[in-house]
Structure 1
Amino acid sequence: MSKGFAPEPYKIKMVENMAIMTKEERKEAIERAGYNTFLLKSDECYIDLLTDSGTNAMSDAQWAGLMLGDEAYAGSRNFYHLEKTVQELFGFKYVVPTHQGRGAENILSTLTIKPGDYVPGNMYFTTTRFHQERNGATFRDIIIDEAHNSQIDLPFKGNVDLKKLQALIDEVGAEKIPYVCLAVTVNLAGGQPVSMANIKAVSELAHKHGIKIMYDATRCIENAYFIKAREEGYADKSIKDIVKEMFSYGDGCTMSGKKDCLTNIGGFLCMNDYELYLQATATVVQFEGMPSYGGLAGRDMEAMAIGLREAVNYEYISHRVNQIRYLGEKLDAAGVPMVKPYGGHAIFLDARAFLPHLTQDDFPAQALAASIYEHSGVRTMERGIISAGRDVKTGKNHYPKLETVRLTIPRRVYTYAHLDYVADTIIELYKNKEQIKGLKWEYEPACLRFFTGRFSQK
């Protein structure tokens, strides 16, 4: 391990054996999966960096909390523990649990969007935009231009461009903008944070026009860490205090508990508007469950409450972000192209720079993810033209400027030795990148195609 990196701030007391397959076996596996890493079986993957969503290792306190699960159909004490924790840490008045983040996105979009609306946000996210478009809205990207350039290194590359937001308000009118979707951090930009100054400015502009701020709070702990590390005036503030201030400028949030709550399932929707809360409780019973469990077991809500408090611990979050930095620095030293600066949950390889002999219509990120698996047994995922999907009106492909492969680090799962293996094998593959072939569609689903689509080599 390189100097300057502290060892893991936890002890290992349980182990899970990892799959070890030959390269020929992996080649057969990725062909069976239609060159889509989502369709690989878990036991076919050696190191699984597909996602950090629900792949966390829970603590001894969380496992103990599972035994305190109150599985009452209504009024579970675990809900009240979760509610109190979220209210204390996030500051929002009302909390509605959901089975995961997209459950919260569905409720928010259903209740607030009408056909013809526009939802501005600092870069799209796949499921978020799907729910917005499904309810008749048009997504408008208002992130700063630099976020679409992998090589520009800025401390807060997830910031909103205030001129873009004002231009949209002037173009369509505030009455057609139900809320600003403010992601902290911005996943598809490379896990890039938003500064506190920018959050304040966006809040002031939106609220001046009567527009709500609804956060995608999925990785808010990581965003708070970057504010502490990079923004003047916050070095001496706790992660907990920074999180509370971040959300004080908004009106609510959607949250996937499968990330910063350090659990394997769960999510919630928050708001300060009582009328919206009443509508949300009426809607959640239709799709998720009672407002006091929202599709979750009591034990899962208990684990989320405990995990949220663990996540605001500085030792935990600094180690997590440093694991990503460690992997990034090893790859960068070998010239492997990636999004700069490193984010808080993943390294994003620049697939077009990695595979300059392929066009975007050859699906370079999908091809690279498949090749990484075949070469090393490391499962990653595509974040490019396949994830971007098609325009709902024209049916044509979206062509994002960023065509990336995401190497996502699960929380408290892998050690620096695992990351050494990941870096070494990707560096080796990079030296032989000309051998990687493009892909074409064999089966394309109607929506969210990156999950279940299948491909073949050209």
Structure 2
Amino acid sequence: MSVSDSFEPPAEPGARLRHPAEPWRVKSVEPLRLTSPQERRDALEQAGYNVGLLPADLVYIDLYTDSGTSAMSDRQWAAVMLGDESYAGSRSFYRLEAAVRRYYGYEHVIPAHQGRAAENILSRILIRPGHQVPGNMYFTTTRTHQELNGAVFHDIVVDEAHDPAADLPFKGNVDLGKLERLIDKVGAEQIPYVSLAATVNMAGGQPISLANMADVRELTRRHRIPVILDAARAVENAWFIKQREPGRGEETVAEILREMCALTDGATMSAKKDSFANIGGWLAVRDPQLAEKARNLVVVYEGLHTYGGMAGRDLEAVAQGIEESVREDGIRTRIEQVAYLGDRIAAAGVPMVRPVGGHAVFLDARAFLPAVPPEEFPAQTLTCALYLDAGIRSTERGAVSAGRDPDTGENRCPRLELVRLTIPRRVYTQSHMDVVADSVARLHARRGEFASGVSFTHEPATLRFFQSRFRPVASAPLFGPAAR
């Protein structure tokens, strides 16, 4: 029994989940390089203590993201060879369009090179200065596009989503009271759309329930406010609905996915997530007039509306990936691998977000490193420690990712200060998960050695976590004794 399904820790310390055997076999391998502790120290210093700036060749297990890093199937690689590279009217576009219509249910499909490109098109169409956009917790690129176009984001997720220890099945749910109060305060005409994420990345990959989505749809329908879904990990959300929501256990993941999308007016999609592709995305809507505006803008920023910044071979890979994404055995194995890592980490007494989400295990860095002051970025500090210890690259999801308030210039201080261990799909084995779990447990046992963190030496104005550079606050070598 896993923490992701039962909401309870393993019955005994050290208990391990036996996740299902993978429904595939290995056809080719990519060698990984094992580095020495000194090599990692030198590399981290060169990268300005930002693991995102490390050369990939110096990373042993790369858990920075599941975006574009999953393993494509032999069917996807075969589809690549069928790509039609015609500039206009590529048959590969029509295959993608048919796949989105079949599995997501949206009529109008506008391809884009990745999810944030779809967010850019959507924001330019719908948002005007002074608009207010509510959503079930922010995501970095989504909020950035909203703010760049003059909107203010409002977090309307349930309060429990901000509590790492709150062990609830649907921590991605919208607090309907918060949404209704915002509508009453600013007026429905000032809300261009409600932004729904499924799952909620910044809360730890937490799902939203179908019942909650239906309630949001009913409320927004009364006020004539559109609902736009971030569908990047909607298949994973559908799996959690199947497992956790009463009355849904007999439905297929594909059926639940269609039901989710039916409660929305459109979606942005990063096909680099659920669809296994290395690049690609789309914006899909029901309103033909909105679709026409999107096609006009995609020509300006991405490419013709039948390729949207993607090559024909990528359109084919995404279309095939959509079909594979809803297969029950595949999504079960994906979720259980993440749960296995979560179970092992929980068994070591490590503070983390509960329950385990669909795409990653999120460590509670503030509780993990209680002696590191908030202004010295505990989560950023912990990402450095994981790399030094075992060559593991993870992602900061705390104050650095939250950025600065555009009005005051002050650092945002989110309640969640997390490190994300993001599992690419079909890439790593159970043994790799054991290496990660062992490293996390070692560092937790050494947590008393961490008395200080890092500070900025270079800070970009937008999406700073990608390219920021830091230095250790203490004059001694970072994190004391050499990493094991």
2:300 to 252, 268, 286: 286
CA contact 1:362–1:438 (8 Å) conserved in 2:
yes
Instruction: Quote how far apart the aligned CAs of 1:429 are.
Output: 1.2
Alignment of 1:333-372 (within 5 A): 333-372=347-386
- Say yes or no: does 1:450 pair with 2:465: yes
Q: Give me the whole-angstrom Cα distance separating, in 2, the residues matched to 1:308 and 1:435.
A: 46
Q: Give me the whole-angstrom Cα distance separating, in 1, the residues matched to 2:323 and 2:55.
A: 33
The amino acid across from 1:184 in the alignment is A
Identical-residue share of aligned pairs (%): 55
1:200 to 176, 193, 214: 214
Which deviations, in whole Å up to 9, do the C-alpha atoms of 1:123-152 show, x marking residues without a partner?
000000000000000000000000000000
CA contact 1:8–1:415 (8 Å) conserved in 2:
no
Q: Give me the whole-angstrom Cα distance separating, in 2, the residues matched to 1:435 and 1:63.
A: 47
2:479 aligns with none
SS at match of 1:275: helix
SS at match of 2:457: strand
Comparing 430-439 and 213-222, the one that deviates more: 430-439
Which runs of no fewer than 5 residues in structure 2 stay unpaired?
1-14, 474-484
SS at match of 2:292: helix
- Say yes or no: does 1:235 pair with 2:253: no
Alignment of 1:58-457 (within 5 A): 58-436=72-450, 437-457=452-472
Q: Give me the whole-angstrom Cα distance separating, in 2, the residues matched to 1:158 and 1:381.
A: 20
Instruction: Quote how far apart the aligned CAs of 1:426 are.
Output: 1.2
Instruction: Quote how far apart the aligned CAs of 1:435 are.
Output: 2.3
Which deviations, in whole Å up to 9, do the C-alpha atoms of 1:208-241 show, x marking residues without a partner?
1000000011100000000000001110100100
CA contact 1:21–1:377 (8 Å) conserved in 2:
yes
1:33 aligns with 47
The amino acid across from 1:230 in the alignment is R
Q: Give me the whole-angstrom Cα distance separating, in 2, the residues matched to 1:255 and 1:360.
A: 33
SS at match of 1:188: helix
Q: Give me the whole-angstrom Cα distance separating, in 2, the residues matched to 1:453 and 1:405.
A: 16
Instruction: Quote how far apart the aligned CAs of 1:377 are.
Output: 0.2
What is the TM-score with the length of structure 1 in the denominator?
0.99
The amino acid across from 1:344 in the alignment is G
Comparing 4-13 and 206-215, the one that deviates more: 4-13
The amino acid across from 1:408 in the alignment is T
Q: Give me the whole-angstrom Cα distance separating, in 1, the residues matched to 2:21 and 2:38.
A: 35
SS at match of 2:224: coil
Q: Give me the whole-angstrom Cα distance separating, in 1, the residues matched to 2:293 and 2:393.
A: 40
SS at match of 2:340: helix
Which deviations, in whole Å up to 9, do the C-alpha atoms of 1:33-68 show, x marking residues without a partner?
111011001001000000000001000000000000
CA contact 1:338–1:348 (8 Å) conserved in 2:
yes
The amino acid across from 1:421 in the alignment is V
Question: Which consecutive segments of 4 or more residues in structure 1 shift more than 3 A?
Answer: 1-4
CA contact 2:64–2:422 (8 Å) conserved in 1:
yes
CA contact 1:388–1:399 (8 Å) conserved in 2:
yes
What is the TM-score with the length of structure 2 in the denominator?
0.94
Which runs of no fewer than 5 residues in structure 1 stay unpaired?
none
Instruction: Quote how far apart the aligned CAs of 1:4 are.
Output: 3.6
CA contact 2:17–2:343 (8 Å) conserved in 1:
no
Instruction: Quote how far apart the aligned CAs of 1:434 are.
Output: 2.4
Instruction: Quote how far apart the aligned CAs of 1:9 are.
Output: 1.5
SS at match of 2:220: helix
Q: Give me the whole-angstrom Cα distance separating, in 1, the residues matched to 2:133 and 2:229.
A: 12
CA contact 2:404–2:412 (8 Å) conserved in 1:
yes
CA contact 1:324–1:345 (8 Å) conserved in 2:
yes
Q: Give me the whole-angstrom Cα distance separating, in 2, the residues matched to 1:331 and 1:6.
A: 19
SS at match of 1:449: coil
Q: Give me the whole-angstrom Cα distance separating, in 2, the residues matched to 1:43 and 1:258.
A: 21
Comparing 366-375 and 3-12, the one that deviates more: 3-12
SS at match of 1:52: coil
Q: Give me the whole-angstrom Cα distance separating, in 1, the residues matched to 2:276 and 2:98.
A: 17
Q: Give me the whole-angstrom Cα distance separating, in 2, the residues matched to 1:10 and 1:43.
A: 26
CA contact 2:17–2:340 (8 Å) conserved in 1:
no
Equivalent pairs, count: 458
The amino acid across from 2:280 in the alignment is G
The amino acid across from 1:203 in the alignment is R
- C-alpha RMSD over aligned residues: 0.8
CA contact 2:136–2:157 (8 Å) conserved in 1:
yes
Which deviations, in whole Å up to 9, do the C-alpha atoms of 1:391-450 show, x marking residues without a partner?
111111110000000000000000111000110111011111222330000000011000
2:480 aligns with none
SS at match of 2:361: strand
CA contact 1:102–1:127 (8 Å) conserved in 2:
yes
The amino acid across from 1:154 in the alignment is L
Q: Give me the whole-angstrom Cα distance separating, in 2, the residues matched to 1:129 and 1:4.
A: 38
Instruction: Quote how far apart the aligned CAs of 1:99 are.
Output: 0.3
The amino acid across from 1:457 in the alignment is P
The amino acid across from 2:149 in the alignment is N
Instruction: Quote how far apart the aligned CAs of 1:69 are.
Output: 0.7
Q: Give me the whole-angstrom Cα distance separating, in 2, the residues matched to 1:342 and 1:364.
A: 21
CA contact 1:57–1:262 (8 Å) conserved in 2:
yes
Instruction: Quote how far apart the aligned CAs of 1:3 are.
Output: 5.2
CA contact 2:204–2:356 (8 Å) conserved in 1:
yes
Q: Give me the whole-angstrom Cα distance separating, in 2, the residues matched to 1:446 and 1:40.
A: 21
